[in-house]
Structure 1
Amino acid sequence: MIRGIRGATTVEQNEETEIIAATKQLLVEMIESNNIQPEDVASVFISVTKDVFAAFPAKALREIEGWTYVPVMCMQEIPVPDSLEKCIRIMMHVETAVPQEEIRHIYLNHATVLRPDLAGSNESNQK
């Protein structure tokens, strides 16, 4: 079965190294928390708010060994008034037998406000 695994984080500055570092941290935590192998990933969508444009966050995935052939696409979020700023969101589509309620969605930094019901289940997301 293909399941979606969500993740989100924020950056303080619209700066390439910070965008790549924050995205990589989020990806690594999503991968490790859900024991994901690259060959089980159908695709990865990464969206950013309109104030994050200094780099393609997808570059972070290419820095992770073994993830060269995983399809990844970046896009901009719709600009909803009063939404969380400087936010990077990830939707990873993974082939897994893990039940939906056991998937570990990861929310880091200020993005914990997006899904406090899920963010509280991760010890390392309170950064």
Structure 2
Amino acid sequence: MSVRGIRGAITVDVNEEQPILSATRELLHTIVASNGIEPEDIASVFITVTGDLDATFPARAIRVMPGWELVPLMCAVEVPVKGSLAMCIRLLVSVNTDKSQKEIEHVYLGGAKALRPDLSKA
């Protein structure tokens, strides 16, 4: 078994609490479903947001999900590169798995598909 990183990102339309929390849940659920993992498999989740999303901590959405109470979570602000994608939430999920790097399914939703079109599904 190895620790693998699973990347994901999603955009929101407004800097408001509920859209940020909903998008975070949607992204995490999609990552979990796409990779067949359980909260017990997760070593940690690192969450970043662009500087224009300051209405809430995205980790709040994860902490209240059943089975996720003990998963270590950390939020940070994404590096503010000029011209980069705005209104974006990114996750890096570190998971204990037998899957190879090639078997990991990274998830990019909404406007975040532009970040990694090579990894985004149609």
Paired residues, number: 121
Distance 1:65 1:32 in 2: 15
| Deviations 1:73-126 (CA, angstroms, capped at 9, x unpaired) | 000011000000000000000000111111010000000000000002xx5xxx
Structure 1 runs of 4+ off > 4 angstroms?
A: none
> In the alignment, what sits opposite 1:53?
54
Identity %: 53
SS of 1:32's partner is helix
1:118 maps to 119
Deviations 1:31-50 (A, max 9, x none): 11111111111110000000
Normalising by structure 1, report the TM-score: 0.93
Please say if 1:104 is aligned against 2:108: no
Over the aligned positions, Cα root-mean-square deviation in angstroms equals 0.8
Secondary structure of 2:76's aligned partner: strand
Secondary structure of the residue that 1:19 maps to in structure 2? helix
Q: Deviations over 1:13-42 (max 9, x none)?
A: 000000000010000000111111111111
**What aligned pairs does 1:1-127 form with structure 2 within 5 A after superposition?**
1-120=2-121
2:18 partner letter: T
Give the residue type in structure 2 aligned to 1:113.
Answer: A
TM-score, normalised relative to structure 2: 0.96
5+ long unaligned stretches in structure 2: none
2: distance between equivalents of 1:78 and 1:50?
A: 8
Q: Aligned-pair distance for 1:8?
A: 0.1
Q: Structure 1: any 5+ residue segments left out of the alignment?
A: none
